[in-house]
Amino acid sequence: MGYRCPVCGDPQADGVHLANHLAFTAMVRGGEHEDWLDEHVPDWAARGEDGLAAAVTDLADSAEYPQVFEDTTGNHNYERGQAHGHGETHGSEEAHDHGEAHDHGRAGDAMGADSLPVDVQAVGGPEMDEEAAEMLAEAREMTRERRSSADEDTGAADESDGTDGPGGSDERGEES
C-alpha cells in the first residue's frame, strides 16, 4: 500500500517516501508542493522525515501500487558479478534477500566527507545557478542535522559522552 501525492498524484511507496517527495519538490521547485505544505503542515521545514510523514499520510489518499523489483523490470544490462544497488552482485553464491532492510546506496559507492555518495556530491557542477546551489547546500545541511538527530535518538551520542543514556550511570557509576 502506498500514497498518492496530494499535489501531483505521483505514487509513493510509503509515508516516508511521500514526505520526502513533498519536501524535496517544495525545496527544489517551490510552487504547488510548497504552497500545499505551507497550508497543511506549516512547520514542515522544521520536521524530520518521520514527523512529516506522520502529518502528510493523514492528508493523502492511500492507494495500491504494485511493488516492482528492479531485477524484474527488464532493460538492465547487469553482467555476472556486477553490483546492482543492494550490496549483492548478480551471480553471487550468497542469497539475495530483498526481504531484509537495506540502504539505498549502491555497492562500491565512495562516500564523501558529508557521508553522501560521491555521485550525489557531484551534483552542482558549474552549470548550477546560485539559487540551486543554495538549495542543495540547505538540503545537505538538513540531511546532516537529521542524521545527527537520529544518532542522538538511537544512543550514539550517549556512547560518546560516557553515559548509559537517560537514567543510566556515568563512568563513575553515578546516576545521571
Model pLDDT for residues 16-60, shown as the tens digit of each residue: 999 999 999 999 888 999 999 999 999 998 999 899 999 999 999
> Do 5 and 64 lie in a common domain?
yes
pLDDT at 169: 45
Is 46 a member of any domain? yes
Q: To which residue does cell 537514567 refer? A: 167
pLDDT at 90: 44
> Do 64 and 2 lie in a common domain?
yes
- The average pLDDT across 49-77 equals 76
- The range of the structural domain enclosing residue 5 comes to 1-68
Is 33 a member of any domain? yes
> Do 60 and 123 lie in a common domain?
no
Domain final position from 35, 68, 101: 68
Chain segment 96-154, per-residue pLDDT in tens: 444 444 444 444 445 555 555 544 545 555 667 788 878 888 888 888 888 887 777 76
Is 23 a member of any domain? yes
Is 15 a member of any domain? yes
The phi and psi torsions of 74 (rounded to 5 degrees) equal 75, -175
Confidence class for position 170, pLDDT limits 50, 70, 90: very low
Query: Structural domain tally of the chain?
Result: 2
> Do 7 and 59 lie in a common domain?
yes
pLDDT at 126: 61
Listed ranges 26-40, 83-97, 156-170; the one with the highest mean pLDDT: 26-40
132's enclosing H/E stretch is: helix 130-153
> Do 1 and 63 lie in a common domain?
yes
Q: Are 142 and 150 in contact (CB under 8 A)?
A: no
- Residue 62, classed as helix, strand or coil, is strand
pLDDT at 136: 81
Is 56 a member of any domain? yes
Is 136 a member of any domain? yes
What is the rounded CA–CA span in Å between residue 61 and residue 174?
51
Residues contacting 147, CB < 8 A, separation 6+: 115
pLDDT at 52: 94
Is 52 a member of any domain? yes
Is 164 a member of any domain? no
> Do 114 and 60 lie in a common domain?
no
pTM for the whole structure: 0.42
